[in-house]
Amino acid sequence: MLTSALRQSSKATQVLDKQHYRRQIFRSRLFLLEMGLIAASQIQTLRQHGWFIVAFGVLIPAPLAMIGALCGWMIGLSPGGTALLAVLAGSASYIAAPAAIRVAVPSANPTLALTASLGITFPFNVFVGIPLYLWIANCLHKVGL
């Protein structure tokens, strides 16, 4: 009798865990949808600051990644670990930063942060940044400064 009660309790816990997991996925999708709607509603300000956002989103990741690669090399990471630290240092916080800005500074325009991180820096890092950061990490480990 005790074992059947424990089995039923375990099954109920598994069902609750699945429901909780599904609820969290739904909430995160709603959050992303809300952020997209906010960005779309403020599209006019993006047109005003367009070139600055593009320049910032392309020019800032490489120097930050270089700092990350140097730190990784100095603490003795492998070339792959150094490249990963460079990628992390050169990447924008694609979801957390715009949300944090929105909470911390309610008058701030989330369009600029979302566009810079998701529309410019992310594609730049995928197509140009990651291969560049891997090359930098390999060069640092080959040269051994």
Q: 119-140 pLDDT, tens per residue?
A: 788 888 989 999 999 999 999 9
Q: Which of 116 and 79 is assigned the larger pLDDT? A: 79
Residue 3 has pLDDT above 80, yes or no: no
pLDDT at residue 49 in the model: 75
Write out the two tokens for 118. Answer: 């998701």
Rounded CA separation 85/77 (Å): 9
Q: Which residue reads 């429901």 in tokens?
A: 19
pLDDT at residue 6 in the model: 46
Rounded CA separation 132/113 (Å): 24
Rounded CA separation 130/137 (Å): 10
pLDDT tens digits along 41-69: 666 766 777 788 888 888 999 999 999 99
Does the pTM surpass 0.85? The reply is no
Instruction: Look up residue 92 and give its DSSP letter.
Output: -
Asked if 137 and 109 touch (Cβ cutoff 8 Å), the reply is: no
pLDDT tens digits along 14-34: 555 667 666 766 666 666 666
Handedness of CA 32, 33, 36, 38 (dihedral sign): negative
pLDDT at residue 42 in the model: 63
Q: Count Cβ neighbours within 10 Å for each residue of 11-24 and write b for 16 or more, e otherwise.
A: eeeeeeeeeeeeee
